[in-house]
Structure 1
Amino acid sequence: MTGGIEDLVPLITYTSILHPTNDERDRLLKTLFNLYKNPSYQQRQVLLHACLCFAKQSGPLRVHAELLPQCWENLNNKIDERRCLVAEACGILTPHLPKDIRVSLIFSMLQQMLSEDKCDQVRCVCSKSLSMVINEIDDETRLSQCIELLDRCLLDTTDVVQSAKKYLLPSIAMWCLELNKICSVLIEHYLIKIESLVQNIQNSSSIDNQRFIQFIHILTDLVVFIFASALKSMTLDNDLSQAISSTRTLPDTISSEFYQLNMILSPNSEKLLNHYDQCAINGEFPFTDQIQLYLDAFLKRSFDTMAVIDIMNGKLIHACSEFIKMISRYFGRNFWKLKIKPLYVTINSPTSHDEIRPTTFVLYATGVLCSWTTEQERAELTQYIYDALLLVANQKLSIHTLQAMYAEIGSDTHFQDILLSILRDSLTNTNPQVRLYTLQLFNITLTFVDHSTISHKILPALITLASDDDITVRTATISVFGSIIIQCSEPE
């Protein structure tokens, strides 16, 4: 029966296109929209294809006069799938409508559904369709409304949030990029939001962690657009057609296509990237003064904002670390070396005898130094963590900073061997406080190593420390032995 109904779709569609009578065309289109009582995703695609055929053959005026009323009639339909069909139709029909209708009618319909519809699925579809509508809007005054709708979606259920981040956010970002407002409007909007979360707080536990993480994730997603804006601003001496394409691997290879630089700056992304990389090798960043000033301010403000988070919240540390690494990997090694590292080093050094700032102390290791995995950076990371261990232990500071480092860095397989080697080297330190902290860090290490590593590298060290001269150290081995028993299913 289903196959029979689908066979009717082309007949109904083309009859509605060609029939000379208005009333008959209206009846046919009404039949098309009501062909399925609860249209599934696949069935909706069949109907949407039919709508698209009608639009291409009939022209904007007939789409407005004949097809759009069918959407209006189903706007408040009790069946969720019907309203999904309406929202999807709004997206695909937008390019085929008169320009003034796109904004005044379609935008308003989607805005209403996003605000009022109680079905998550419908709101998800609305956010996707709105991203398609945005591509057709010329009215810059609508930008603020679009950002407001995005904010509304980001306060919605998980599915709606994911849909908005996948489709609506990059669509608005692309529009801002075209208007040269990605930094001054969209980035600034979310930077101010995240700054407001940490203003006038009594302590780090007062932060709305869920919102903070969400905003950091958004800023992380938008780093590629900041980089694209910077590349667009470059002064070029040569014709791009003669330029060599870059071979540098960017961190967007696993991202949605809407967040990939080669899509955002097509067709010149690789040549722009190569020009930038060639300049950056010499420590030159050929951006406009406006972009350069904004980047400096953005790095400083985002750094200051992250500096107050709770280091014991692993999700916060991870989100902030990924944000730092994303900036470093897009803008490249020399930018990282000349712009990002100094910002952290001047504030907090593990060899400093002044009071350390725990969060920046941690993020310098988990974000800045983990941005690259070459031997040079691995050696620097190793030395930093080892120095940090000695500093914290010698001054009898809280071990929380070290635990936060180990928990975050240990989740990356590129650096797990570094953490283990530091602990092994610290077992024979003459300071019992260092040996005690080493034991406590072994507890964290157990969560990311396999049984073989535990058996051959960790257990022998524990057995040695179980007979340590210091009773505090000997006592501390008990909890680690207990953790090993829990961690390992194999009898040892």
Structure 2
Amino acid sequence: MPNCKELIPLILCTACLHPEPKERDQLLHILFNLIKRPDDEQRQMILTGCVAFARHVGATRVEAELLPQCWEQITHKYPERRLLVAESCGALAPYLPKEIRSSLVLSMLQQMLTEDKADMVREAVVRSLGIIMGYIDDPDKYTQGFELMLMALGDPSERVISAIHQVFVPAFAAWTTELGSLQSQLIPTLLSRIEKLLREGEHRLDEHKLHIYLSALQSLIPALFAVVIQNAPFTNIAKLHGEVLPIEVTRFPRPASPLQDVATIIGSREQLAVLLQLYDYQLEHEGTTGWESLLWVVNQLLPQLIEIVGRINVASTTCVHEFSRFFWRLCRTFGKIFTNTKVKPQFQEILRLSEENIDATVGNGILTKATVPIYATGVLTCYNQEEDRKLLIGFLEDVMTTLSLSHAPLDSLKASFVELGANPAYHELLLTVLWYGVVHTSALVRCTAARMFEQILRGMSEALIDKRVAPALVTLSSDPEFSVRIATIPAFGTIMETVTQKELLERVKMQLASFLEDPQYQDQHSLQMEIIKTFGRVGPNAEPRFRDEFVLPHLHNLALGNNTQTVESKRQDIAMQLFEAYSALSCCFISEDLMVTHFMPGLRCLRTDMEHLSPEHEVILSSMIKECEQKVENKMVQEPQGSMSIAASLVSEDTKTKFLNKMGQLTTSGAMLANVFQRKK
């Protein structure tokens, strides 16, 4: 039997030329069923053959003879065969009648995208959909295309989502640009979907859906920029005048695929270089008059995006991160002049940061919203010149000051620090901001600075913690204002949890010891609360020696001291905080010695408090104590292998008696007991 390379051309040639439709049908059926599970190379051979056949016979016969073969295999049990169908739909798209492309073929692909279980098939479906989008010219199919895009973006497979950003979205964007509806329909629809999602999800936002819409918007940025630059006032003079500077390598964010490269969309890198030079000149010297496509971005898109950002919950780190990435890509694509003259002023107008205007600024609540971290991390980090870094530092300092002086929540500042702190390149910059807070004349600002250190310690180098963080915290820990000293405790705790350097750990331990042992702090309720809370948080992850020699003995002392607390509300606060800490530490390995000397006595002191304050907590503590006692008891009765202590033998006898008694209660006669153990023959 000839091999596939010889057989496929033979079958196709005969199918092309045979006069009998029935015979042709049989031959094409053989072609599609020739190989049980065709691999990549074999599928490529069949597809190449199909394309050659389509070129030769024309659209009518492709529709009548090849498509039915695809339709037959759409639910085949082997994924390789369904993959061949998905790939055929894309490969044959140019050779089909246009009404069939936008009806039958589109429906086949939609069915496979919805129903096929294999990731590789759905990935091929998405790629073929991208090709189909390049050929559809029926505007009525826009809505179906949009829904297909959203459906595919919600796919559970990473490879499908990757394919949609690489192929489908750029193809769909090109088609909507052709239709003139990228700015009038596609982007506004996505924005209104996001707004609706935020309205519906005031209590619980569907973050997955938000991600789908936002990732689609992000993939449309290159197409949007291409529309703006191709519809500029200067396009009629976009010819080479003098030397054209080459495009810097870092000018645009890395595209998801060549189809998302602005140069590909424009037509060539040379043409893009010319347009970019004219674009920057126009923005800097001649303004935006008559430039409708850019005015839409400035007057409609940006204000709507900024308004949306103001409604994002600042506690949702995922949303903050995604919107930051979106603004970063938008600003980098539209360039530095656009960012400085069009984006920053709109944010600054809303944030209105100024010393004289503190009450008004905080009054509108915007400084406590996600606008702060998204502006800081999505816009102010786009460019990294000295003046850009100064602007970011100044902005964070202003936010820290304003929020502190007006006693506003610090969540927006924390979110900015967490997002920036995830990148070590910003650690020095953040420490500069914090040092400004450390030496500030207001205790409120110093307090905030102390609290912010904790946000950036994870992932920071030990050298930086040793040289910059520890000295700042030590300075604050002897601050004249008591509230500032207390605010350093969480950061000291985090150092104990994350650092390995012995000298540094000793310095921190001495500082924590002075908080616990210095007479001036003995009756400081808020300090004790902060210490216990920190111990509960860092204890389980800290170095075991620190936990054993420092945390557990001090928790025991605090629990003991709380038994004699006469102010009921303070006693309750400390007891509840101790309960949280002991619950967290009960998961750790604790030696019998420590169990007996500190852990169980601390729990018993706490139980004494809870007897009066919270009976339900007292029940939990009693069972925790019982469990600890059993652990200790079991350790004590274990002897070397081969011998059994009297206590252990008593336990065994007791267990045997209990077992026999139970069996006696369960069975009513000896016959039944015998039956239990009797195997069926």
Do the two structures share a fold, i.e. TM-score over 0.5?
yes
Distance 1:195 1:400 in 2: 22
The answer as to 2:473 corresponding to 1:474 is no
User: Given that residues 454 and 491 in structure 2 are in contact (C-alpha distance below 8 angstroms), is that contact kept between their aligned partners in structure 1?
Assistant: yes
Aligned length: 489
2:578 is matched with none
**Amino acid paired to 1:403:** K
Can you give the 5+ residue segments of structure 1 that lack an aligned partner in the other structure? Answer: none
User: Given that residues 233 and 287 in structure 1 are in contact (C-alpha distance below 8 angstroms), is that contact kept between their aligned partners in structure 2?
Assistant: no
2:184 is matched with 184
**Amino acid paired to 1:84:** L
Q: How far did 1:340 drift? A: 1.5
2:386 to 368, 375, 400: 375
**Amino acid paired to 1:140:** P
The answer as to 2:101 corresponding to 1:102 is yes
* Structure 1 stretches of at least 4 aligned residues deviating more than 6 Å after TM superposition: none
2:332 is matched with 329
**1:189-229 Cα shifts (integer Å, max 9, x gaps):** 1011111122376x4x4432222233222222212222111
**Relative to structure 1, is the Cα distance of residues 278 and 430 closer, same or farther in structure 2, using a 3 angstrom cutoff?**
closer
Q: How far did 1:60 drift? A: 2.9
**Amino acid paired to 2:257:** S
The answer as to 2:83 corresponding to 1:84 is yes
The answer as to 2:353 corresponding to 1:350 is yes
Distance 2:235 2:88 in 1: 46
User: Given that residues 19 and 25 in structure 1 are in contact (C-alpha distance below 8 angstroms), is that contact kept between their aligned partners in structure 2?
Assistant: yes
Q: How far did 1:14 drift? A: 4.2
Distance 1:140 1:284 in 2: 34
User: Given that residues 328 and 371 in structure 1 are in contact (C-alpha distance below 8 angstroms), is that contact kept between their aligned partners in structure 2?
Assistant: yes
Can you give the 5+ residue segments of structure 2 that lack an aligned partner in the other structure? Answer: 504-681
User: Given that residues 231 and 287 in structure 1 are in contact (C-alpha distance below 8 angstroms), is that contact kept between their aligned partners in structure 2?
Assistant: no
**1:232-269 Cα shifts (integer Å, max 9, x gaps):** 21133754343546625432434321211111111333
1:174 is matched with 174
1:397 to 405, 408, 411: 408
Q: How far did 1:24 drift? A: 4.2
Q: What secondary structure does 1:448 align onto? A: coil
CA-atom RMSD in angstroms: 2.7
1:208 is matched with 206
2:196 is matched with 196
**Amino acid paired to 1:395:** S
Superposition TM-score, scaled by structure 1 size: 0.90
Which structure would you say has the larger RCO, counting Cα contacts within 8 Å and 6 or more residues apart?
1
User: Given that residues 228 and 293 in structure 2 are in contact (C-alpha distance below 8 angstroms), is that contact kept between their aligned partners in structure 1?
Assistant: no
Q: How far did 1:113 drift? A: 2.4
Superposition TM-score, scaled by structure 2 size: 0.67
Distance 1:251 1:416 in 2: 25
Distance 1:304 1:238 in 2: 35
**1:135-174 Cα shifts (integer Å, max 9, x gaps):** 1112222112211222222333244444333322221111
1:55 is matched with 54
2:233 to 228, 232, 235: 235
User: Given that residues 252 and 259 in structure 1 are in contact (C-alpha distance below 8 angstroms), is that contact kept between their aligned partners in structure 2?
Assistant: no
Q: What secondary structure does 1:415 align onto? A: helix
**1:308-334 Cα shifts (integer Å, max 9, x gaps):** 111122211111122222222222223
Worse-matched range after superposition: 139-148 or 88-97? 139-148
**Relative to structure 1, is the Cα distance of residues 482 and 278 closer, same or farther in structure 2, using a 3 angstrom cutoff?**
same
Q: How far did 1:90 drift? A: 0.3
**Amino acid paired to 2:74:** L
User: Given that residues 389 and 402 in structure 1 are in contact (C-alpha distance below 8 angstroms), is that contact kept between their aligned partners in structure 2?
Assistant: yes
Distance 1:287 1:223 in 2: 22
Q: What secondary structure does 1:371 align onto? A: coil
Distance 2:43 2:378 in 1: 45
Q: How far did 1:17 drift? A: 4.1
**Amino acid paired to 1:485:** M
Q: What secondary structure does 1:346 align onto? A: helix
The answer as to 2:410 corresponding to 1:407 is no
Q: What secondary structure does 1:36 align onto? A: coil
1:146 is matched with 145
Q: How far did 1:379 drift? A: 0.8
Worse-matched range after superposition: 153-162 or 303-312? 153-162
Distance 1:281 1:163 in 2: 38
User: Given that residues 403 and 409 in structure 2 are in contact (C-alpha distance below 8 angstroms), is that contact kept between their aligned partners in structure 1?
Assistant: yes
**Relative to structure 1, is the Cα distance of residues 72 and 210 closer, same or farther in structure 2, using a 3 angstrom cutoff?**
closer
The answer as to 2:440 corresponding to 1:439 is no
The answer as to 2:303 corresponding to 1:304 is no
**Relative to structure 1, is the Cα distance of residues 297 and 315 closer, same or farther in structure 2, using a 3 angstrom cutoff?**
same
User: Given that residues 231 and 293 in structure 2 are in contact (C-alpha distance below 8 angstroms), is that contact kept between their aligned partners in structure 1?
Assistant: no
**Relative to structure 1, is the Cα distance of residues 40 and 471 closer, same or farther in structure 2, using a 3 angstrom cutoff?**
farther
1:485 to 486, 496, 512: 496
Distance 1:449 1:302 in 2: 33
Distance 1:198 1:191 in 2: 11
